[in-house]
Structure 1
Amino acid sequence: MKDFLQQVYLDNTLQSYLVVAVIIFLGFLFKRFIAHYIASFFAFLIKSRYKSIDPSIFKSLIAKPLGLFIAVLITLVALDRLTFPSVLDFKVYKIGIKELLRMIGTTLLIVTFFRFLIKSMDFVVLLIKNRYMQNGDQGNHQLVFFFKDFIKVVIGLIGGLLVLKYTFNYDVKGLVTGLSIVGAAIALALKESLENLIASFIIFFDKPFQMGDAVKVNNFSGVVEKIGLRSTRIRTDAKTYITVPNKQMVDSVLDNLSNRTQRRADLRLEIGVDTLPAKVDELLDGIRKILARPEIQNFNLFLTDITTNALVIVGDYYTEPKNIAKYNQVKQEVNLAVLQLMETIGVDAAGKSTSITITKRAE
C-alpha cells in the first residue's frame, strides 16, 4: 500500500494528491461551520457593544462570503503543496499555464476577500442606521446609503488595483497618478456640486438641523421637509416649496426655531406724559398681575423712558416654544387685558386725539 501511494504521476506522488484532495474536501465540507463560528465570535463582540443588534443578521450577511473566502484560501494553500507538472508547462498566447493558474488563483483570492469586505459594509451601515434611528434622526437615511455605496465603490477600486498589481504585475503607481489627475479635473469641473456634497456631510455629522425642524435662513422661514445630497427642501410659512443649496445652509446664519427653549413676546406702551405717578404705578402692578398667568413662564416689565410726548413702558414675556396657536392666543388675551386695565384706571395712550371745536361768537 505504501509503495502504491508513492507512485509518481505528473511529478507528484499519489499520496500528495490524496492529501491535497482530502484537505480541499474538508475545507469545502466545513467552510460553512468554520465561517459560522468565526461570525458567531464577532457577533458576540458586537452584541456586547450594540445591545439592539440581532446577531443573526450579522451571521446571515457575513457567513456566506466569509465561508467562500476560507474555501478558496484552503484550496490555494493545499494546491501549493503540489509540484506543477512539467509536461503541462506550455504557453497559451505567450503565457504559461502555470502562470495563468497563478493569476486565476490570486484573482479569486482577492475577489472573494473584497467581496467579504463589501458584505461587511452592509452590516456597518445597518449599525449606523439603527443608531441614528434610535436617536430620532429620521432624515439622514439617504446619506447613510450614499456612504454605503461610496465606500463600496472605494473598496471595489482598491480590489481592482490589487488584482492589477498582484495578478498582472502591473505598476499601479502610474495608474493612480493618472486617476488623481483626472479626479482633480473632474473636481474642478464639479466644484459647486462637490461643495454642496461636502456641506451635506457637515449637516449629517454636525446636525445644525434635522427633518421636521422649523428654521429661518436667507430671510426665509419654514419647516425642513427633505435633506438631500445637493440641497435642502423647505416648506415656507407661505406654504411655498423652496430649494436651498446645502452650502448656503452651512455657510449662512441659520436660526433653528425648533431648538429654542421659549417663545418671546414683546409689550410696549406709550401713555400720556401727564399721567400721575400713582396711576403709572397702578398700571404697572396691574400689568404684572396680567402677566402672572400659568401660560407665561417668566416676564420683565419696566418704565424705561420719559419723553416730552410719552411715558414708555416696555416689557417682554415668554411662553413654551412649540404651540404657535397657543402663543398667539396668549398674546391676544394679554393685549386685550392691558387695554381693559387702562380703560378701568383711566390711563390714556400717548397722542390720544382731542377734538377742538371753534365757534364764532354771535354779534
Structure 2
Amino acid sequence: MTLDALLKYEFLSNTLGQYLVAALILLIGAVFRRLFSRLLSKLLFALTKRYTGGVSEEELSALLIQPLSTLLLVVTLQLAGATLTYPHGPTAVAAGGQLPWHEVLLLRLLALAFIVAAVRVALCLIDFGLLVTSRRAALREQGSPSRLSNQFLPFAKDLLKVFFIIIAGLVALGHVFNVNVTALVGGLGIGGLAVAFAAKESLENLIASFTIFLDQPFGVGDLVTAGPVTGTVEKIGFRSTRLRTAEKSYLTVPNKSMIDKPLDNLSLRTSRRVGFTLTFDQATTSAQLHAIIAGSLAALQDHPLVSQAAQMKFSALTPAGKEVTVEYFVDTTSYDEYLNVKEDLNYRLVEVVEREGGLFAGAPAPVAVAAPKV
C-alpha cells in the first residue's frame, strides 16, 4: 500500500491523514503552549511597558502564564477537533441532519471551556491593571498610598471582575446553551421586584458599600468601633467589611451594620484620655496632699506626650479615705505607646506619694523598728 493510499485510508468517517493532522496540532499545542504563553506575555509587557509604573515583566508573567496556557490548550483542542469529521449515523440522517448528542455535548463543552479560559485571562489582566495602578499611585504619593487608593482600588477590581463574570455567563447562556438572552433580560425586568425583595439585605449592603466609599467615615487600616464591635479595618467589600480584632480574630461585619449605628473612628482621635481616682488613707495630712498633688502634676506635665490640660484634684472625703481624681491626655494614636506612657506615669505618681510620705487607703502603715539596746 502506497503512502498516499495509506493517508487516504478511512476509519470512522475520517482519513488517516486527518487523524495525523489532528495529532500534530495537539502535539504542537502541548509542547509549545507554555512558550507561546510566555511570548504573548512578553509582547503585552512590551506594549504596556511605558505605563506599568515599575511593575516587572516577571510579575506579569506570573499572572498570565497559567491562564494563557490553559486558553491555548482549549484553542488547540478546538483546532484539532475542527479537522475531524464526526460520524452521524443513520439516526441523525433520519432526524433531518441534526447532530448526535455526543457531538453536541463535546462542542458545547469546548465552547464553555474557551469562555472560562478567556474569562480567567481577563481576570488576570484586571489584577495586572490593579497592580500597575497601585504602583503608580504609590510612586505619586511617595511610597504611601492614600486611604482612597487603599480601599477604592480593591473595590474597583472586585466590581470589574463581577461585571466580566456576568457578561461571560450571558455569553455562555446564549452561545453554549442556546438561551434567548434578550428574552431572559426582559424577564428579569418583570421579576425584578421579586428579586429585589429576595435580595433585600444584599442590596442594602451593596448600597452601604457605596455610601462608605463616598462619605469615607473610615478606611483600610483604621481602628473603628461600631456598636459592640471593635477592630482594625483590613478590607471593604461589596457586602461586608473585614475587621481584625484585638484578639487577632478575623471578623466579617455587614456594611449596613457599619453605617446604621454610631461609628467611632478611633484612628482619627488626636489623643487618648486617662482618668482614675486615687484614695489616700485618713492619716495622710493636708500638707502631704498638697505636696503630692503639686509633685504629681509636675511629673505629668513634664512628660513630652502629655498635654498641658492635665488635672489632679482633691475631689471627695469619704469614710474610706481621701479621694484625688487624676485626668490627663496622651498625645498619641498608638495603643502600645499609650500603654507605655501610662505605665511610666503610674511609676512617677507612686514615687511622688512615697517621697511625700503619703499612704494609699488600705495600705499597712510602716512599722517602726526599735533600735537594739547596747
TM-score, length-scaled by structure 1: 0.51
Q: Deviations over 1:15-39 (max 9, x none)?
A: x997997598357525624444223
Query: CA separation of 1:35/1:186 partners in 2, compared to 1, >3 Å: closer, same or farther?
Result: same
Amino acid aligned to 1:54: E
Whole-Å separation in 2 of the counterparts to 1:234 and 1:73: 48
Q: Residues 309 and 328 of structure 2 are in contact (CA less than 8 Å); yes or no, is this contact kept in structure 1?
A: yes
**Where does residue 42 of structure 1 map in the other structure?**
44
Q: Deviations over 1:105-124 (max 9, x none)?
A: 87466424312223225635
Whole-Å separation in 1 of the counterparts to 2:61 and 2:243: 38
Whole-Å separation in 1 of the counterparts to 2:225 and 2:59: 41
- Is 1:51 the counterpart of 2:55 in the alignment? yes
- Is 1:222 the counterpart of 2:230 in the alignment? yes
Query: CA separation of 1:37/1:162 partners in 2, compared to 1, >3 Å: closer, same or farther?
Result: farther
**Where does residue 194 of structure 1 map in the other structure?**
203
Q: Residues 295 and 319 of structure 1 are in contact (CA less than 8 Å); yes or no, is this contact kept in structure 2?
A: yes
**Where does residue 120 of structure 1 map in the other structure?**
121
Tell me the percent identity.
22
Q: Deviations over 1:63-99 (max 9, x none)?
A: 32221243256457778xx9x99x9996354443499
Query: CA separation of 1:245/1:57 partners in 2, compared to 1, >3 Å: closer, same or farther?
Result: closer
**Where does residue 246 of structure 1 map in the other structure?**
255
Whole-Å separation in 1 of the counterparts to 2:18 and 2:185: 43
Whole-Å separation in 2 of the counterparts to 1:255 and 1:104: 57
Query: CA separation of 1:293/1:58 partners in 2, compared to 1, >3 Å: closer, same or farther?
Result: closer
Cα distance, 1:191 vs structure 2: 0.7
Unaligned runs of 5+ in 1: 267-282, 302-314, 344-363
Equivalences for 1:19-30 in 2 at 5 Å? 25-26=24-25, 29-30=28-29
Whole-Å separation in 2 of the counterparts to 1:160 and 1:210: 36
Q: Residues 212 and 218 of structure 2 are in contact (CA less than 8 Å); yes or no, is this contact kept in structure 1?
A: yes
Whole-Å separation in 2 of the counterparts to 1:216 and 1:177: 44
Q: Residues 295 and 330 of structure 1 are in contact (CA less than 8 Å); yes or no, is this contact kept in structure 2?
A: no
TM-score, length-scaled by structure 2: 0.50
**Where does residue 285 of structure 2 map in the other structure?**
none
**Where does residue 267 of structure 2 map in the other structure?**
258
Amino acid aligned to 2:41: A
Whole-Å separation in 2 of the counterparts to 1:243 and 1:76: 48
Amino acid aligned to 1:324: Y
Q: Deviations over 1:229-269 (max 9, x none)?
A: 457668589x9x99854213134442221244443679xxx
Q: Which structure would you say has the larger Rg? A: 1
Q: Deviations over 1:97-143 (max 9, x none)?
A: 49997x678746642431222322563576559969x9899999x98
Cα distance, 1:336 vs structure 2: 8.8
What secondary structure sits across from 2:231 in the alignment? Answer: strand
Query: What is the root-mean-square deviation in Å for CA atoms of aligned residues?
Result: 6.1
Cα distance, 1:324 vs structure 2: 2.8
Whole-Å separation in 2 of the counterparts to 1:70 and 1:57: 21
Query: CA separation of 1:178/1:295 partners in 2, compared to 1, >3 Å: closer, same or farther?
Result: same
**Where does residue 170 of structure 2 map in the other structure?**
158
Whole-Å separation in 2 of the counterparts to 1:42 and 1:191: 42
Unaligned runs of 5+ in 2: 136-142, 276-292, 311-326, 357-374
In the comparison of the two structures, how many residue pairs are matched?
A: 286
- Is 1:326 the counterpart of 2:340 in the alignment? yes
Query: CA separation of 1:18/1:233 partners in 2, compared to 1, >3 Å: closer, same or farther?
Result: closer
- Is 1:175 the counterpart of 2:184 in the alignment? yes
What secondary structure sits across from 1:161 in the alignment? Answer: helix
Amino acid aligned to 2:305: E
